[in-house]
Amino acid sequence: MSKPCIICVAITGSVPTKENNPAVPITIAEQVESTQEAFEAGASIAHLHVRDDAGKPCSDPDRFARLQEGLQEHCPGMIIQFSTGGRSGAGTARGGMLPLRPDMASLTVGSNNFPTRVYENPPDLVDWLASEMRAHDIKPEIEAFDLSHIVQAAKMARDGRLKGPLYVQFVMGVKNAMPADERIFDFYIETLKRFAPDAEWCAAGIGAAQLTVNEWCISRGGHTRTGLEDNVRLDRDTLAPSNAALVRRAVDLCARYDRPVASVQEARAILGLRAAA
């Protein structure tokens, strides 16, 4: 049997609103309910952001704690991954929730452009976030928005700033950053294998690229990410009714390519994570 495929669901993000799609979960209660449905559909990693009472992105550790608690109760064994992304807070506030010891946290090791601004990841902040993840036994998911981020993550693993083996996500289709391009995608895989031969990889396509990138991942033996953070539509005319509906699309693709969908136990083993809390 071929290698199980880990499906990650990015449920909320920092950008989408109820106006974009009423199914985007904003409150903690909505997030728990939406994640549970996605978990039951086959997702084994939940990639998480939190919002404040006005629905704006924030890094409030208390909200992350409540979300973590809700998911541990309703999605037993699911891998909890907090975002340390830059839209939700400035500087070290981005890592203020890491003492909660989620299984994983996202980490971007370099800067790039986003649709309307610079996504700033200065070296001292990256090193601090990486050291917090080491201190709390959190596995980073490297968010590679650019080729240089792959090479930099491999360097950080070699010199001990990141604990290996790496888990690297290629993010494609963010406006003003790397587009979803199949030959670049293949070069990303080739580059990662050259610089970090023991790494596992996954990828996320933004907007209309989501399903295309899911298929590239699944057909090449990687893992994949879906969810309303990255894309709120099933197609140009149809809003996705839920995070679970997007997970089901990825599950269907796994069946087409003869990839079993990883259970939470299989996903934890592939990623070398500790047993569920």
Report the interface residues with Zn ion, using CB under 5 A.
83
- Of 23, 20, 67, which is closest to residue 46 (Cα–Cα)? 67
Cβ–Cβ < 8 Å for 176, 148: no
Residue (34 or 83) nearer to Zn ion, CB: 83
CA 218 – CA 265 distance, rounded (Å): 19
Residue (225 or 259) nearer to Zn ion, CB: 225
Question: From the CA atom positions of the chain, what is the Rg in Å?
Answer: 17
Residue (4 or 48) nearer to Zn ion, CB: 48
Residue (105 or 195) nearer to Zn ion, CB: 105
Shortest separation between residue 50's beta carbon and Zn ion, angstroms:
11
Shortest separation between residue 256's beta carbon and Zn ion, angstroms:
27
Shortest separation between residue 209's beta carbon and Zn ion, angstroms:
16
Cβ–Cβ < 8 Å for 165, 199: yes
CA 185 – CA 80 distance, rounded (Å): 26
Dihedral sign, CA of 16, 250, 10, 64? positive
Residue (59 or 83) nearer to Zn ion, CB: 83
Residue (162 or 204) nearer to Zn ion, CB: 204
**Residue whose beta carbon is closest to Zn ion:** 83
- Three-state DSSP class for residue 174: coil
Shortest separation between residue 66's beta carbon and Zn ion, angstroms:
18
Q: Which residues contact 217 (CB under 8 A, 6 or more apart)?
A: 5, 202, 203, 223, 224
Shortest separation between residue 106's beta carbon and Zn ion, angstroms:
6
- β-pairing verdict for 200-205 and 112-113: unpaired
132 token code pair: 């917090």
Residue (36 or 83) nearer to Zn ion, CB: 83
Q: How far is CA 122 from CA 108, 115, 153, in A?
A: 10, 19, 14
Residue (12 or 152) nearer to Zn ion, CB: 12
Shortest separation between residue 47's beta carbon and Zn ion, angstroms:
5
CA 225 – CA 250 distance, rounded (Å): 8
Shortest separation between residue 85's beta carbon and Zn ion, angstroms:
5
Shortest separation between residue 29's beta carbon and Zn ion, angstroms:
20
- β-pairing verdict for 118-119 and 112-113: antiparallel
